[in-house]
Amino acid sequence: MTYKVAYTVGLALASVIASAGPLLACDQYNAAVAAVQSDNPAEAAALYETILVSPECDDPLREWVADYLARSSFAYAVEKATTPEDKRDALLRALSYEKHWRSYAELGRIDWAAKNYGPAATNFQLAINELVDGDPGHVAEESEIAEVYQLATAAMALADTPVEMPTTRSGEIGGIFKTKIRGFSVEEVSLPITFKYNSTEFDASGQTYADALAEHLKLLAPASVVLAGHTDPRGGEEYNLDLSEARAVKLSEFLHSHGFNGEIQVKGYGESRLPVAPEGIAPDSEEYFRIARRVTFEAE
C-alpha cells in the first residue's frame, strides 16, 4: 500500500535527523525524534503541541512530526478503527496535521456508505482538489483518481440539496470542474442539471448547477463547448432522445444568455449512454436513475 511505503521513508528520515544532533535551544528535539523512531504517536502528539508554538523549534521539525502524526492517524483509521465514528475522528485528526487526498477520500467513503451524499460529494471533491494542487509526493494510481471522480459526480447527483464546488488553493472553482488530474483526464464532466418532470425548465437544484457551469465557462472561456443530454432508461426510447436534446438546447440557451460567447454544440443521447453504476448502487434503483439523468459538457 502506498501509505506504508511513505511511512517507511518517514522513519528513515528520522534516523537522518537524529544523526544530525539536536537543534540548539529546541528542548523537545531529542524527545520528538525518539517518539517517532519508537512509533509512539501519543507521545509525539503531546510534544508537537509544544513544538508548534516554541520559537526555538524550526519549521522542518514541526512539519516532520506533523507528517508522522498524520500518517499514524491515517493508518489507525484504515487498519484499526472499529466504527465509522472512530474512523472519522482519526481521519479528521490526520487532516489536522497534513492535508492528504486519501484522508478526504476515506471520509467521502464513510459518508457514501451511510448515504450522506452531500457530505460525500464535498469530501470527494476536496480529495480531487488535493490531487490537483496538493503535495505531489502523495501518489495516486490513475484508477484511484478515476474512482474518486466517479464517486464525486454520483454523490452530487444523489445529494438532496445542491453541493458547492470547493475552490482550490489558488481560488479557482475546483472539484469536478478540474478535468486534468495528474495523469488522468476527464473527457466530459457530468453535472446533475435536473429539470422539472416532463419539462425543459430547470428545477431548483438544476438551476444552481446551471449557474455554476455558466460561471465556470465565463472564467475558462473555451472557444467551444459540447453539451449532451442524457435520460434514465424509463420511458420510450424516441421520447427520451427528444427530451434529452431539448434539455441540452435549453442549457445552451441559458449559457449564452449568461455571458458565454463561445460556440455550443448540442447532442441528445436519451438512454443510449447509461453510466456505470457506482459501488453500492443497483442498476435498477431510483438512485441509479438519478445518476443517469444528467447533462455532460466538454470544453474544447
Per-residue pLDDT tens over the stretch 194-209:
888 888 999 989 999 9
To the nearest whole number, what is the mean pLDDT of the chain? 90
In this model, does residue 19 exceed pLDDT 50? no
Mean of pLDDT values over 176-195: 91
Task: Output 255-260 pairs: Cβ under 8 A, ≥24 positions apart.
Answer: 255/210, 255/213, 255/214, 255/217, 255/225, 258/211, 258/214, 258/218, 259/214, 259/218, 260/214, 260/217, 260/218, 260/225
In this model, does residue 65 exceed pLDDT 70? yes
Superfamily, domain 187-299: OmpA-like domain (3.30.1330.60)
Q: How confident is the model at residue 17 (pLDDT cuts 50, 70, 90)?
A: low
156, 208 in Cβ contact below 8 A? no
Q: How confident is the model at residue 289 (pLDDT cuts 50, 70, 90)?
A: very high
Helix (H, G, I), strand (E, B) or coil at 75: helix
Q: Which residue has the cell 470547493?
A: 166
Tell which wins on pLDDT, 252 or 168: 252
156, 177 in Cβ contact below 8 A? no
The number of residues in the chain equals 300
Q: What pLDDT score was predicted for residue 6?
A: 43
C-alpha closest to that of 298 among 268, 250, 274, 264:
264
Q: How confident is the model at residue 24 (pLDDT cuts 50, 70, 90)?
A: low
Rounded Cα–Cα distance for residues 211 and 7 (Å): 43
Q: What pLDDT score was predicted for residue 231?
A: 92
**Highest averaged pLDDT of the listed ranges 11-25, 146-160, 168-182:** 146-160
CATH 3.30.1330.60 maps onto the chain at 187-299
Q: Write the DSSP symbol of residue 167.
A: B
Q: Write the DSSP symbol of residue 175.
A: G
271, 237 in Cβ contact below 8 A? yes
Q: What pLDDT score was predicted for residue 196?
A: 86
pLDDT tens, residue by residue, 27-45: 999 999 999 999 999 999 9
pLDDT tens, residue by residue, 259-276: 999 999 999 999 999 999
pLDDT tens, residue by residue, 66-116: 999 999 999 999 999 999 999 999 999 999 999 999 999 999 999 999 999
Distances (CA, A) of 112 to 21, 24, 106, 107: 47, 48, 10, 9
